[in-house]
């Protein structure tokens, strides 16, 4: 595969053979002017002329992604993410690509390991994005505004997330992210925030934030109709990270950081 110019984001797709990996590969067909897939990995390598078909190991993966890759997009599983972690560790800091992590269900221990890795990246960052939909980002930003306006109402807040029966982690990474952001704005005497998870059928992803008062209720819902929503969003975030990640060099960043940077960019125009 050809290397791109400075305006092109060169990505490596980890978890390439999974549902999201295949969806991202499909989305890449319409992004050839802005994103180039340099190769991918799952249980085996794909798209790399030297490694295709061979089993993935941290050493081989480190070699593959340390040359000509701007951003590694990770949509694997917890074990696959840990393999990627070991691969990045094996790369000298100055040669490490930036990493966009869409994998959910990561343990606190692994998140701390990624923080340590990010601290030694002199040219970029590690970006943990449990949901790559811009609509989800708009959902939590809107919910935070509602929470602020209802601060004196002592509303009970509940997050209800629904996904297909094969999703392994519960609650979802998105629900946890919603909970973390909303909890930051709660006082010690505010009602407890609760999360409920539902698994069934083929639901791509539905998240509902309920603000329940004594006399009324506000419900904010995000409902995904296809995985292409997350695939297109992942590519948008990878392009942004390639362009702006140096502003967050040596940091582990989140969707909240992305939202803040986006607001700052709009205010400058």
Which of 163, 207, 222, 242 is catalytic? The answer is: 163
Would you say 124 and 249 are in contact if contact means Cβ atoms under 8 Å apart?
yes
Give the pairing type, strands 35-41 and 9-14. parallel
Specify whether 163 is catalytic: yes
**Helical spans, DSSP H, in the chain:** 19-28, 58-65, 78-89, 108-119, 134-149, 173-184, 228-244, 255-268
Would you say 19 and 45 are in contact if contact means Cβ atoms under 8 Å apart?
no
Sheet with 194-199, side-by-side order of all strands: 194-199, 156-163, 206-212, 217-223
CA dihedral sign of residues 117, 76, 8, 10: positive
Would you say 113 and 83 are in contact if contact means Cβ atoms under 8 Å apart?
no
Which of 167, 176, 249, 251 is catalytic? The answer is: 167
Q: Is 156 helix (H, G, I), strand (E, B) or coil?
A: strand
Would you say 157 and 193 are in contact if contact means Cβ atoms under 8 Å apart?
yes
Return the active site residues: 163, 167
């Amino acid at each position: 595969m050809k290397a791109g110019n400075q305006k092109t984001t060169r990505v490596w797709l980890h978890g390439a053979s999974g549902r999201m990996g295949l969806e991202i590969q499909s989305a890449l067909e319409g992004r050839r002017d802005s994103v180039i897939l340099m190769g991918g990995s799952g249980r085996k390598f794909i798209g790399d002329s030297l490694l295709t078909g061979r089993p993935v190991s941290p050493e081989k993966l480190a070699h593959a992604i340390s040359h000509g890759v701007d951003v590694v997009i990770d949509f694997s599983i917890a074990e696959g993410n840990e393999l990627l972690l070991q691969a990045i560790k094996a790369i000298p800091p100055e040669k490490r690509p930036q990493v966009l992590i869409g994998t959910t269900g990561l343990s606190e221990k692994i998140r701390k390991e990624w923080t340590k890795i990010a601290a030694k990246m002199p040219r970029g960052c590690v970006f943990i994005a449990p949901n790559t939909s811009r609509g989800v980002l708009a959902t939590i930003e809107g919910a935070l505004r509602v929470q602020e306006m209802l601060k004196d109402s002592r509303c009970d807040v509940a997050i209800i997330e629904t996904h297909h029966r094969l999703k392994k982690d519960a609650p979802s990474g998105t629900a946890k992210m919603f909970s973390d952001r909303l909890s930051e704005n709660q006082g010690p005497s505010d009602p407890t925030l609760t999360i409920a998870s539902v698994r069934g059928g083929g639901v791509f992803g539905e998240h509902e934030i309920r603000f329940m008062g004594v006399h009324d209720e506000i419900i904010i819902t995000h409902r995904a109709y296809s995985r292409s929503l997350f695939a297109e969003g992942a590519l948008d975030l990878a392009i942004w990270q390639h362009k702006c990640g140096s502003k967050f060099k040596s940091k582990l960043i989140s969707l909240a950081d992305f939202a803040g940077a986006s607001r700052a960019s709009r205010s400058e125009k």
